[in-house]
Amino acid sequence: MIGMTQKPKILVIGSANMDMVIQSDHFPVPGETIIGGDFSLIPGGKGANQAVAAARLGGDVCFITRLGEDIFGSQNLLNFQKEGIDTSYIHQIPEVPSGVALITVDKSGENTIIVAPGANAHLTVGDMKASEQRFEETELILLQLEIPLETVVAAAALGNKLGKKVLLNPAPAQKLPDKLYRYLQLITPNETEAEFLTGIAIDGEASAEKAAKFFIERGVQDVIITLGSKGAYLHSSNFKGILPTSKVTAKDTTAAGDTFNGALAVALGKGLPIKDAVNFAMKAATLSVQRMGAQTSIPYIHELSIP
């Protein structure tokens, strides 16, 4: 079992949404109306999912986000408190809706997602400066791209200036300024995001290594490209190659990447070598895809072990 006595201080900065999920046999084509299956209302958002994953898997987590002063915002805030997450820097904004995501999950477990950012778009550079004390107290900072890009850059720059480990999950993919890469210890794109950012299609270990070098040349220290059921490609100072994952039947892949990143942050915060941290994160993600929903699928530390 991964060590449970040490709780690394992890600062997650990102989005919080309410996910509206419909299951269906297949995805509709433009202009088509189909009859779906079960409907669920599940807390989500990449930042929130990663914060919950890190908290459940052994981290001392503080989450910085923005919520609306609506029922979704209040429900999300209560959920974070129940998870034991420090909500001191979470604020509800009047007259702005909380973020929402419309998600369709097909019978193979694949999904399509449309996000309306709402209050997430109001997390600012000024908010990062106002949170500097919390940055100083943390060990690792975890970021994604569902909040304004300038806010992500400001958070990464501040974390780097203070000597903190900064981890970026570049999702959903968008073009990034070169200066951002220099602030990062670690970047964790999936195959699609890696291709978007580098222009290199990932079709095996050689292409993954070529894509990883794109990030390394721009100042990132370590690179992990997640490969879904094929595992993950790791490029670090002492290991370069694909780490395989367990084969399972996926029910819903909605929060697999977020579970991976939250678990990875905890493992690195506990001081595990990066190769072991990736293996731990893949085990957590493998559990999550066998369950429905975003935060409802994220496992707890007692469900996992690590060599």
Over residues 89-104, the pLDDT tens digits come to 999 999 999 999 898 9
Output the known binding site.
17-19, 45-49, 146, 190, 226-231, 252, 254, 257-258, 288, 291, 293, 297
Share of the chain above pLDDT 70, in %: 95
d(CA 275, CA 278): 5
Output the known binding site for K(+).
252, 254, 288, 291, 293, 297
- Which residues of the chain fall short of a pLDDT of 70? 1-5, 250, 252-254, 293-294, 305-307
Q: Given the DSSP bridges, would you call strands 165-168 and 140-143 parallel, antiparallel or unpaired?
A: parallel
Residue 66 β-bridge partners? 91
Angle at 24 between CA 22 and CA 28, to 5 degrees: 100
Distances (CA, A) of 84 to 159, 263, 280, 281: 23, 16, 22, 21
Write the CB contacts of 116 (distance below 8 Å, at least 6 apart in sequence): 97, 99, 100, 101
- Residue 252 pLDDT: 65
Q: Which helix (H) or strand (E) holds 89?
A: none
- Residue 39 pLDDT: 93
Helices (H), 113-163: 125-130, 132-137, 149-161
Output the known binding site for substrate.
17-19, 45-49, 146, 258
- Residue 293 pLDDT: 67
DSSP string, 193-243: HHHHHHS----SHHHHHHHHHHHHHTT-SEEEEE-GGG-EEEE-SS-EEEE
C-alpha dihedral (14, 56, 194, 209), degrees to nearest 10 = 140
258 is catalytic: yes
72: three-class secondary structure by DSSP? helix
Q: Which helix (H) or strand (E) holds 94?
A: none
Domain residues of the chain, as ranges? Answer: 9-15+46-98+119-298
Closest CA to 67 of 104, 133, 121: 121
CB 12, CB 54: distance < 8 Å: yes
Instruction: Name the catalytic one among 25, 222, 258, 276.
Output: 258
CATH domain 9-15+46-98+119-298 topology: UDP-N-acetylmuramoyl-L-alanine:D-glutamate ligase (3.40.1190)
Over residues 23-40, the pLDDT tens digits come to 999 999 999 999 999 998
